[in-house]
């Protein structure tokens, strides 16, 4: 499992305050608005399906979800957001990709530059690190008492390329174009699908320890905390015990 995936899992286990929950709902609403521009039916809009899965997992109120879809389809008025992908370099030679939903690309890029600079990194040009990442589908499912072999067999038959275990949860990796097909097969097989996302997985990684690890996670944390940022991907690797220790210090 990649370093950023481990980091997300650790962050996901933390208790969420009302303020953080409100901020999360706002971010997800932006994702839904952007995705719904391509159509309000999730059965025909994979991006919207992924955003709705995220909203459901976060416990976002149904009225909020409905309004976000309607804003995206133009049924009701509201701020207009667009997708943006930024690339940069983090501490210790790590590569970073940032996905955002913004109503002002100039503002977002200016603020992201400051965050990268603060942590010893730099925002780069489009394509500067994307070559080191592969676009893949990622499905998070609850195991329901099944073994890794059980999940791997059912997922592989549906088109998945890999499955990893993380406690009672399984991370299923797929080619992007079959992610929702695989997720639906797993749902019908009785698994609870907690989330579906198109992610950037690194082809090669950088092992970080000590102060480099602290700097990398501080950058990751501050980028994820930015109001416009939806997802942050990086090619760092570090021991999970060290990651958990640093995460507790960042609370």
- pLDDT digit string (tens) for 204-237? 999 999 999 999 999 999 999 999 999 999 999 9
CATH superfamily of 16-73: Integrase, N-terminal zinc-binding domain (1.10.10.200)
Q: Alpha carbon 63 to chain centroid distance?
A: 23
Q: What is the 3-state secondary structure (H, E, C) of the chain?
A: CCHHHHHHHHHHCCCCCHHHHHHHHHHHHHHHHHHHCCCCCHHHCHHHHHHHHHHHHHCCCHHHHHHHHHHHHCCCCCCCCEEEEEEEECHHHCEEEEEEEECCHHHHHHHHHHHHHHCCCEECCCCCCHHHEEEEEEEEEECCCCCHHHHHHHHHHHCCCEEEEECCEEEEEECHHHHHHHHHHHHHCCCEEEEEEEEEEECCCEECCHHHHHHHHHHHHHHHHCCCEEEEEECEECCHHHHHHHHHHCC
CATH superfamily of 82-131+204-249: YebC, transcriptional regulation domain (3.30.70.980)
Q: pLDDT tens, 107-133?
A: 999 999 999 999 999 999 999 999 999
What is the pLDDT confidence band of residue 57, given thresholds at 50, 70 and 90? Answer: confident
* pLDDT score at 6: 62
pLDDT higher than threshold 60 for residue 97 = yes
The residues spanned by each domain of the chain are 16-73, 82-131+204-249, 133-202
Structural domain 133-202, CATH architecture: 2-Layer Sandwich (3.30)
Q: pLDDT tens, 144-194?
A: 788 888 889 999 999 999 999 888 889 999 999 999 999 999 999 889 898
């Amino acid at each position: 499992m990649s370093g950023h995936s481990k980091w997300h899992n650790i962050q996901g286990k933390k208790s969420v305050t009302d303020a953080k929950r409100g901020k999360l709902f706002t971010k997800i609403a932006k994702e839904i608005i952007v995705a719904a521009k391509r159509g309000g039916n999730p059965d025909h809009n994979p991006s919207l399906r992924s955003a709705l899965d995220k909203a459901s997992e976060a416990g976002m109120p149904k009225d909020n979800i409905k309004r976000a879809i309607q804003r995206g389809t133009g049924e009701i008025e509201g701020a207009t957001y667009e997708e943006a992908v930024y690339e940069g370099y983090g501490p210790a030679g790590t590569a970073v990709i940032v996905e955002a939903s913004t109503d002002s690309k100039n503002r977002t890029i200016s603020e992201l530059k400051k965050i990268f600079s603060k942590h010893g990194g730099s925002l780069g040009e489009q394509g500067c690190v994307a070559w080191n990442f592969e676009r893949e589908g990622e499905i998070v499912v609850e195991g329901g008492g099944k073994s890794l072999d059980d999940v791997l067999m059912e997922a592989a038959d549906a088109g998945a390329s890999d499955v990893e275990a993380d406690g009672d949860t399984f991370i299923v990796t797929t080619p992007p174009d079959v992610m929702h097909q695989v997720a639906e097969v797993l749902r019908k097989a009785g698994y609870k699908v907690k989330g579906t996302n198109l992610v950037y997985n690194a082809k090669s990684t950088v092992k970080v320890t000590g102060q480099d690890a602290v700097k990398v996670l501080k950058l990751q944390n501050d980028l994820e905390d930015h109001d416009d940022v939806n997802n942050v991907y990086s090619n760092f690797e570090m021991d999970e015990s060290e990651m958990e220790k640093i995460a507790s210090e960042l609370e």
